[in-house]
Amino acid sequence: MKFAEFGLDDKITRSIDQLGYKRPTDIQFKAIPAILEREDVLAIAQTGTGKSAAFVIPILQLLLKKRKNRDAGVLCIVMVPTHELARQITDVFKQIGKNTSLRFTAIYGGVDQTQQIERLKKGTDVLIATPGRLFDYINQGVVKVYNTEMLVLDEADHMLDLGFYKDIQDLIKYIPKKRQTLFFSATIDQKIKKLAYSLVRRPIRIQISPKNPVAKNIDHSVAFIKMDDKRFFLERIVRSNPEKKILAFVRTKVRCERVLKAMERVEVQAVSIHSDKTQDERDTVMKQFKTGEIKLLIATDVSARGIDIPNVDIVVNYDLPEQPENYVHRVGRSGRGKQKGTAIAFCGEEEKELLSAIEDYTGHEIAVTEMDNDEYADTIDFSTETHADWKTLMRQAEEEEAEFLSIKKKRNKKKKK
C-alpha cells in the first residue's frame, strides 16, 4: 500500500514524497485509517516503528478541513514527557505540514517564556507540550484549550515513569469531553491500562509487537567489567573508533557527570545530557553531537526517547538499565532504517540480574565478549589516565557501589509488593 491510497491532501502527499517515505510502516498502516475516521486509538508500539508520523499525518489531514480561526484556541494538543521529544515531534509536524498554512508550536520548560508566549499569541493549530509548561500557560490564560478537538499522549509509559499521572488527569478537566484521543505507549501494564481507559472511548487497539523488539540490523555484545573499570573500556572504544558517533547511557545524572569528568581526564572529548541541563545547554550539546563536532555523548534514560540523531554508530550501555524495555529504547538510537548499528553493554557483577531481565524481555541471549586476564589488564594499561588522586577515585567507586546497592534494594522491595 502507498500513502496516496489513504486519500490524503496533495499538500501532505507532496511532503511525504519529498521526505522519501515509500510505504507506510505497520503502525502507520493500522493507525492512519482509524484516526481519519475520528476513532480513539490505543496504540502500543516500540521506538523506531514510525509512530510519530502515524498520528502526525492524519492529524494534518483532519486539520486541513477545519475553518481557520486561531482566536478560538488550540485544536490539537500533543503531550510528551521530555523537551527533546517535544522538539522532535514538532519537527515532524513541520516537515510533513510544510506545504500547508497550519501552525505548530512546541512549549517546554527550561527556557525563557517570552518567546514562547509571543508565538502562542499569534495563534497555533497544534500545540506540542510537556505537562509542566502547558499547565503554567493554561493558568496564565496564554493557552486556550476549550475548543481542543484532539488530544495525543505520546510515550505515555515514560510520562508515568516521570510522575505525570496527575498532570494528565488534570488536563482533562480543561478540554472538551467530546474529543478524539490518541494514546501511544511503548509498553502496556495495569497502570497504563488504567490511564488509557480513563481517557479513550471504545478505542481501536493497535499493538505492534515484533518477535524481536530490537532491530535486526544491530549487533549486540556484552562484556563483564568491574564497575570502576568501565571508564577504561569506554575510553578504548572511543579511541578505537575515532570517526564514529558513540552514545553512552548511564544510570543517574551524578554518574553521567562522573563519566564525563573521567573522559576529560584522559583528554577524550565528550558532552553529557540529562534533566539538570538547561535548554540552552541541551541545544548546544545536541548540535555538537549531531554535527559530529564531538563524537561521544553521555546520557541518562530520561533523554533516551527524545534523542533522534542520524548516524549513531555505537550505543554503549555503560550501566545496564533498571527497566529491561529501556535497553530497547537505548539501542534503538543506532541501526535506524537500513543502517547497521552496534550495541555494547558493560555488565558489572552487581548487574547480572539486570542482564538476565533484558535477555528475557528481548527473547535473545546477548553474545558475550570473552576476555582473559591479560586482555582485561591491557585495556586498563591502554588508558592514558594520569590522575594521581587515587583517594578521590576510590571514594567515587565506593559512592557508586553504594548508590547501585540502594537502587537494587528499592527494586527488590517493589518485587515483594
Question: What secondary structure does DSSP assign to 153-185, as a single string?
Answer: E-SHHHHHHTT-HHHHHHHHTTS-SS-EEEEEE
> Distance (Å, rounded) from C-alpha 96 to C-alpha 98?
6
The residues with which 12 forms a beta bridge, in sequence order, are none
* pLDDT tens digits along 68-94: 666 778 999 999 988 888 988 999 999
pLDDT confidence of residue 199: 86
> Distance (Å, rounded) from C-alpha 306 to C-alpha 316?
17
* pLDDT tens digits along 140-160: 888 888 899 999 999 888 787
* pLDDT tens digits along 256-290: 999 999 999 999 999 999 878 887 888 899 889 98
Q: Is residue 213 part of a domain?
A: no
Q: Is residue 294 part of a domain?
A: yes
Torsion of CA 322, 325, 326, 331, to 10 degrees: 130
When pLDDT is averaged across residues 171-197 and rounded to a whole number, the result is: 86
Do 255 and 184 lie in a common domain? no
> Distance (Å, rounded) from C-alpha 107 to C-alpha 87?
9
C-alpha cell, 68: 481557520
Select from 54, 76, 104 the least CA-distant residue to 176: 76
- Domain final residue, candidates 180, 208, 236: 208
Q: Is residue 415 part of a domain?
A: no
User: 31, 171 in Cβ contact below 8 A?
Assistant: no
How many beta carbons lie within 10 A of that of residue 306, not counting itself? Answer: 22
* pLDDT tens digits along 209-255: 655 556 667 899 999 999 989 999 999 999 999 999 999 999 888 89
User: 109, 280 in Cβ contact below 8 A?
Assistant: no
Do 319 and 249 lie in a common domain? yes
* pLDDT tens digits along 308-346: 677 889 999 999 998 887 888 788 788 766 678 899 999
> Mean pLDDT of all residues in the chain?
85
Do 63 and 174 lie in a common domain? yes
Which DSSP helix (H) or strand (E) runs through 150? strand 150-153
**pLDDT at residue 406 is higher than 80:** no
Do 22 and 115 lie in a common domain? yes
Do 89 and 225 lie in a common domain? no
pLDDT confidence of residue 306: 58
Do 203 and 240 lie in a common domain? no
Do 139 and 69 lie in a common domain? yes
Do 354 and 329 lie in a common domain? yes
Do 177 and 227 lie in a common domain? no
> Distance (Å, rounded) from C-alpha 122 to C-alpha 112?
18
pTM above 0.85, yes or no: no
User: 355, 345 in Cβ contact below 8 A?
Assistant: yes
> Distance (Å, rounded) from C-alpha 107 to C-alpha 142?
12
Look at the alpha carbons of 57, 58, 63, 64 in this order and tell me if their dihedral is positive or negative: positive
Q: Is residue 310 part of a domain?
A: yes
Select from 19, 20, 22 the least CA-distant residue to 4: 22
Total domains in the fold of the chain: 2
To 10 degrees, what angle do helices 324-331 and 352-362 make? 70
When pLDDT is averaged across residues 176-191 and rounded to a whole number, the result is: 86
- Domain final residue, candidates 187, 208, 229: 208
pLDDT confidence of residue 77: 96
CATH code assigned at 133? 3.40.50.300
Select from 216, 227, 182, 190 the least CA-distant residue to 362: 216
C-alpha cell, 317: 550501555
Show the domain range for 180: 3-208
pLDDT confidence of residue 85: 87
Q: Is residue 303 part of a domain?
A: yes
pLDDT confidence of residue 111: 81
- Domain final residue, candidates 147, 177, 208: 208
Do 109 and 224 lie in a common domain? no
Q: How confident is the model at residue 15 (pLDDT cuts 50, 70, 90)?
A: very high
Do 169 and 264 lie in a common domain? no
* pLDDT tens digits along 359-386: 998 888 999 999 888 888 888 887 766 4
> Distance (Å, rounded) from C-alpha 67 to C-alpha 73?
12
Select from 241, 247, 244 the least CA-distant residue to 259: 247
Select from 263, 265, 281 the least CA-distant residue to 273: 281
Q: Map grid coordinates 500545540 to a residue.
A: 127
Q: Is residue 416 part of a domain?
A: no
pLDDT confidence of residue 258: 92
Identify which has the larger pLDDT, 305 or 200: 200
Do 199 and 245 lie in a common domain? no
Query: Phi, psi (5° rounding) for residue 116?
Result: -60, -45
* pLDDT tens digits along 84-125: 889 889 999 999 999 999 999 999 887 888 888 888 888 899
pLDDT confidence of residue 276: 82
User: 61, 12 in Cβ contact below 8 A?
Assistant: yes
Percent of the chain with pLDDT over 90: 44
pLDDT confidence of residue 411: 55
Q: Is residue 92 part of a domain?
A: yes
Q: Is residue 146 part of a domain?
A: yes
Torsion of CA 71, 75, 80, 86, to 10 degrees: -60
pLDDT confidence of residue 318: 97
Q: How confident is the model at residue 388 (pLDDT cuts 50, 70, 90)?
A: very low
User: Which residue type is seen at 158?
Assistant: H
pLDDT confidence of residue 186: 77
